[in-house]
Structure 1
């Protein structure tokens, strides 16, 4: 009986530890994302994807996130979209934001979550690093901003 109690306490401690680590997984469940607010998820996408380059670049990234939230093919929350595997920068929900770009990201996240959009992004739901070109004929580029090129797929 005592060993069972110790095992239960250890499991509980492990679960608490797992939930306190941002972006970590415990038995395949992502606890870190559940702790972040929509603003924090938006800030992180803008901060890491725009390379903290400019308000315009952050606004463009935020617009893509919101375009995806509004499309039934994607999760219907900012954190769901940003947390999708292989869609945004590695560790976007768990890495530390270490410079003043986080202040600008917070300001821009507030604007996007209040309805601001980058008009040049239009309906684009995709972007990649500026300067790269792909030979696909199903891409229509609409904007270059913040070190990224934004495009729509046909």
Structure 2
């Protein structure tokens, strides 16, 4: 099995194999973490999670999802390998490890996955942030501390009662995450809709299907060419 270890000198890796423009999706600066000794299989599993869960709307969203996967791996609570984390039952999009990824932008997704494995992290997805759901959904749980919205998802950490601030409004960032819809275009609905009432519902609300009008250059390219069933 091939094992790769790397350290990235520049903050971003951009593939030159496609016509997509990843720079259009760079809305935040990345931060660095320690590199991870990874295999080709690890890279594929991470790329799959990022591809199917990021709303495929921006590199920012891709890296945010990748950061959650690596945070879960580091915690030791969700699996002992990248593929183990991604393939954990009920946590990521159905068929995440088996559905086809046919897109001209796939090299860019793979490059983003490699960069995450080499240490790149979304600056607002700290090590404690190990959860996300479709932006726009609302939940009443006071232990959900939101940190950012990226790629159509709202990212949050679960805080214990001892860490909860005196005043907390967990719905603020989610409510402001609505994206415009172009006239004459039917908006695509989330693939998974969670109902309020259980942690299981939160865990299942991690899949979102994008429409071209919601995406930037890379997202539009992926969405327009790939509609997995």
Q: TM-score, normalised by structure 2?
A: 0.51
CA distance in 2 between partners of 1:104 and 1:50 (Å): 13
CA distance in 2 between partners of 1:73 and 1:95 (Å): 25
User: Conserved in 2, the CA contact under 8 Å of 1:47 and 1:101?
Assistant: no
Alignment correspondent of 1:6 = none
- Structure with greater proportional helix content: 1
String of CA shifts for 1:28-52, please: whole Å, max 9, x gaps. xxxxxxxx70000000000000122
- Larger relative contact order (C-alpha < 8 A, sep ≥ 6)? 2
Query: How many residues matched?
Result: 119
Alignment correspondent of 1:70 = 74
Q: Where do residues 1-150 of structure 1 align in structure 2 (5 Å cutoff)?
A: 37-122=41-126, 123-150=128-155
- Which structure would you say has the larger Rg? 1
Q: TM-score, normalised by structure 1?
A: 0.75
Cα shift at 1:148: 0.3
Q: Which ranges in structure 1 are unaligned for 5 or more consecutive residues?
A: 1-35
What secondary structure sits across from 1:43 in the alignment? helix
What secondary structure sits across from 2:50 in the alignment? helix
